[in-house]
Amino acid sequence: MTATIIAGTGSYVPDRVLTNADLERMVDTSDEWITARTGIRERRIAADDQATSDLAAAAARRALEAAGMAPEEVELVLVATATPDMFFPATACLVQTAIGATNAAAFDLSAACSGFIYGLNVADAYIRSGTYRNVLLIGAETMSRVTDWTDRSTCVLFGDGAGAVVLKAAPGDSRAGAPGILHSRIHSDGAAWDYICVPGGGSRLPPSNDLVEKRLQYLQMRGNETFKVAVRNMERAARAVLDAAGGIKPQDLALVVPHQANMRILNAVAERLELSEGQMFVNLQSYGNTSAASVPLALDEAVRGGRVHSGDLVLFLAFGSGLTWGAALLRWA
């Protein structure tokens, strides 16, 4: 049997910090209002000369270093992003050449905030099938480039960053007690595509002066509807994965690493799963919602902070545009 383990983690955030106080000078809002409704106090913003691939490459290098792996050993570079450098080529191809992964195939995966879990599911399938043994999975976003900085309801939420993991084939059956991914589930509901979207700039509404005047190149979100469905589906995904792994209880988890969307969402999910204080890792206050980057960015901080140990059961949870959502459970190597 072959299992998929996380052999190394890495992350990167830009230097520029945008605080709630900064936003008070940009739109009609306040630090108190933002903190009470989101839990976010600051976020990172990419420099003018930084693209998503730059953030992704920096996180990738740190993950490879942590795994003790040379770039030439990577067989697949998979980048989960909703903010690629350009329509094509894939951002993953730009990362591949930036880090020197000369022997790797490379492609992007678009599932917005659920992208990392979707990517984990894909990478696990490749590894279990024997197609690849070493996969570099990156979640990276420059959400600041699709944020409308005049819209106080959305501009307070998002930030830029990247997180990466090195996934390796390992002997043993994770479902029989060996380290590795136990189960993962991904879901979607395209009927609710307009809950979170960037409507303009693609083939349906190509770039035009009219599009820019209507600000359709920026993210739009139906917040109340999104909140309700996010909480419900994240709980369902978590329970489905735990049940599939043999009836593991939420209380058995050493750590839950969720998509860092909104503190009210995280609190509601924790309450529904009856998690104890400290089981859920949260760094939302420092980075805001970094979409596909948020889970691997949080994971890297948890690992480097000594929050994860060999044998621990770790659960990843995410929900995002699509709509997409999913969960993945693994036993730490």
Report the distance separating Cα 113 and Cα 141, nearest Å. Answer: 10
**How many angstroms separate the CA atoms of 126 and 123, rounded?**
5
Residues 106, 107, 112, 115, Cα dihedral to 10°: -50
CATH code for the domain of 88: 3.40.47.10
Last residue of a domain, one of 139, 159, 176: 176
Asked whether residue 139 falls in the same domain as residue 241, the answer is: no
201 & 167 share domain: no
Whether residues 89 and 10 share a domain: the answer is yes
Q: Per the structure, how many domains does the chain have?
A: 2
Residues labelled as active-site residues? 113, 259, 289
Do residue 52 and residue 114 come from a single domain? yes
Verify that 168 and 22 share a domain, yes or no: yes
pLDDT tens series, the chain, 333 aa: 899 999 999 999 999 999 999 999 999 999 999 999 999 999 999 999 999 999 999 999 999 999 999 999 999 999 999 999 999 999 999 999 999 999 999 999 999 999 999 999 999 999 999 999 999 999 999 999 999 999 999 999 999 999 999 999 999 888 778 999 999 999 999 999 999 999 999 999 999 999 999 999 999 999 889 999 999 999 999 999 999 999 899 999 999 999 999 999 999 999 999 999 999 999 999 999 999 999 999 999 999 999 999 999 999 999 999 999 999 999 999
Phi, psi of 281 (to 5 degrees): -90, 130
Structure tokens at 54: 């730059």
Where is the domain boundary, 176, 207, 230? 176
Q: How far is 135 from 277, CA to CA, in rounded Å?
A: 33
